[in-house]
With several copies, the nearest count.
Chain A
């Protein structure tokens, strides 16, 4: 087997975390790879839901967007967006939502709107999309970041697009979900269980030190008493990813 890339490791770790999950709200890219791999391994009955409205996709090929035609043909259900966002996501039918972000803070709050001041941004990012709703509606959120660095793991967000439950409570609103429970990066895994908890380093990629992760994180990072070392991807996991799921390495770059 060829050496394991960061993308492969992140996908494998995320897939393993989906054991015992019923429904996952996935974006395109690594989340889709992780969900597919989980269906091949730890969660054969996992249902993948896309914000475009597709539930239970059975695609012929690798989708290029969350709204790809191949996700629609042969799917078990395609819902309109009021139903998907209102009844499925806000209604509490999603166990795990996958999100990415430009910035994340220690409570798992996310920024995908701007770098700099919202009114005169240095960089205008794509914005919320459905991320605000995934955070508000899913029971748990997994954040996948290809690169763990202090520009993304910040002490203070430039702008909070998608707040976790702690910010909701401070705003006087009872949250439905637990917010971010896992952040999976090229260096390891940060975890929290829900309200009142900071992200804590719970697992390290083999060969990565606690100090390296601390240096890559923009806030004083909590570390579990005895952080685990992530088990290497098995040959079977790698073969499934490389051969069955993304043979052309569209997302495994």
Chain B
């Protein structure tokens, strides 16, 4: 496997074309922050089908992918438009099988995190203290119980629930910056992105900016995703809209609040996809279409980190 440190820059179109295939298990991570929306839209544009989407918080981009007919199955721990309302397509599919049924696998947040940890660490299972007495194991055969080989505090046998690994065919995450080899640096809320990348067969990292090697190397602890775990790196400014990129642009709460009404009406939802996804050739057009007013509204000021000294041998 030569070339772990080679130049892996490509376009979002080419990254999705190369790495997301019909029937794949696709993980899209980013907890409220750095949601890979642009990548989700490109998957819609390219008409992928029968995907299993793995995402802790199934929110707007998942609702859009569902509405576009890309998704057969969803694995998640939260299905909602954050605190701003419901996901119309998702609820229709789960509650009424309209326009088509959706296979749904339900975990809690930490259950999902542990599935990524098990996947990243090539473990057959990962133990966690959740689920004891919950009804979730009764509807999710992935949640099972194991007896500890060590005695509990009372000397008796201790039981604990475990979850299985997830090994996505491809994980896609958004980050603030990376070098051309894919060493990716994230700050602010970093969620479970690194584990989701490590758990995957292939990984695409979409970034606000590709920076000079020297920028990344000036702060190696900031690299949460090392190049050897990355297959493609894509520069795509504002690729996380309507979510935010700490230090680059703020969350578009107006859009979040508007989504409940859009997605509650199948016709409006179809029109939205036609106008904003199918009607734009790439994310740069989507951003241009957003317009200067929205960009101004989401602009953020500076709050720079104090530098640390890595030192240099004299």
Give Cα A54–Cα B221 distance, bound, in whole angstroms: 9
Interface check A83, CB cutoff 8 A: yes
B122 CB contact (under 8 Å) in A53, A90, A120, A160 = A90
Interface check A188, CB cutoff 8 A: no
B193-222 interface bits toward A, Cβ cutoff 8 Å, 1 = contact, 0 = none = 011001100000000000001001110110
B102-137 interface bits toward A, Cβ cutoff 8 Å, 1 = contact, 0 = none = 000011111101000100111100001111111110
Interface check A247, CB cutoff 8 A: no
Contact B312 A56 (CB under 8 A): no
Give Cα A154–Cα B303 distance, bound, in whole angstroms: 48
Interface check B91, CB cutoff 8 A: yes
Stretch at the interface among A59-67, A205-213, A227-235: A59-67
Contact A54 B109 (CB under 8 A): no
Interface set, chain B 73-117, CB cutoff 8 A to A: 76-80, 82-83, 90-91, 94-95, 106-111, 113, 117
Considering the complex, give the chain A residue whose CB is closest to the CB of B310.
Answer: A73
Contact A133 B32 (CB under 8 A): no
Contact B120 A73 (CB under 8 A): no
Contact B1 A22 (CB under 8 A): yes
Query: Please, how many residues of chain B have a CB less than 8 angstroms from a CB on the other chain?
Result: 87
Contact A58 B108 (CB under 8 A): no
What B residues does A82 contact at CB under 8 A? 113, 117, 192, 195
B275-314 interface bits toward A, Cβ cutoff 8 Å, 1 = contact, 0 = none = 0000000000000000000000000100100000011110
Answer whether A45 and B2 are a contact pair too, CB < 8 Å, given A65-B251, A127-B76: yes
B228 CB contact (under 8 Å) in A23, A54, A61, A109 = A23
CB distance from A70 to the nearest CB of B (A): 6
What A residues does B149 contact at CB under 8 A? none
What B residues does A64 contact at CB under 8 A? 83, 251, 253
Interface check A132, CB cutoff 8 A: yes
Contact A78 B190 (CB under 8 A): yes
Interface check A167, CB cutoff 8 A: yes
CB distance from A103 to the nearest CB of B (A): 12
Considering the complex, give the chain B residue whose CB is closest to the CB of A128.
Answer: B108
What B residues does A70 contact at CB under 8 A? 313
Give Cα A8–Cα B228 distance, bound, in whole angstroms: 29
Answer whether A76 and B220 are a contact pair too, CB < 8 Å, given A22-B1, A22-B2, A129-B108: yes
Contact B300 A161 (CB under 8 A): no
B55-77 interface bits toward A, Cβ cutoff 8 Å, 1 = contact, 0 = none = 00100000000000000000011
Interface check A97, CB cutoff 8 A: no
Interface check B159, CB cutoff 8 A: yes
Contact B246 A72 (CB under 8 A): yes
Considering the complex, give the chain B residue whose CB is closest to the CB of A50.
Answer: B189
Contact B226 A56 (CB under 8 A): yes
A81-92 interface bits toward B, Cβ cutoff 8 Å, 1 = contact, 0 = none = 111011111111
Answer whether A91 and B136 are a contact pair too, CB < 8 Å, given A51-B109, A52-B189: no
Contact B129 A136 (CB under 8 A): yes
A92 CB contact (under 8 Å) in B78, B122, B313 = B122
Q: A55-B226, A55-B228 are in contact. List 9 more A-B contacts (CB 8 A).
A: A47-B5, A54-B220, A67-B189, A69-B188, A72-B246, A76-B5, A82-B192, A86-B113, A160-B134
- 10 shortest A-B CB distances, which residue pairs? A167-B133, A67-B32, A163-B133, A173-B132, A126-B80, A77-B223, A168-B132, A132-B108, A22-B1, A128-B108
What are 12 A-to-B residue pairs whose CB atoms are below 8 Å? A21-B1, A47-B4, A52-B189, A55-B223, A67-B33, A76-B181, A81-B192, A109-B133, A129-B77, A130-B109, A136-B129, A173-B129
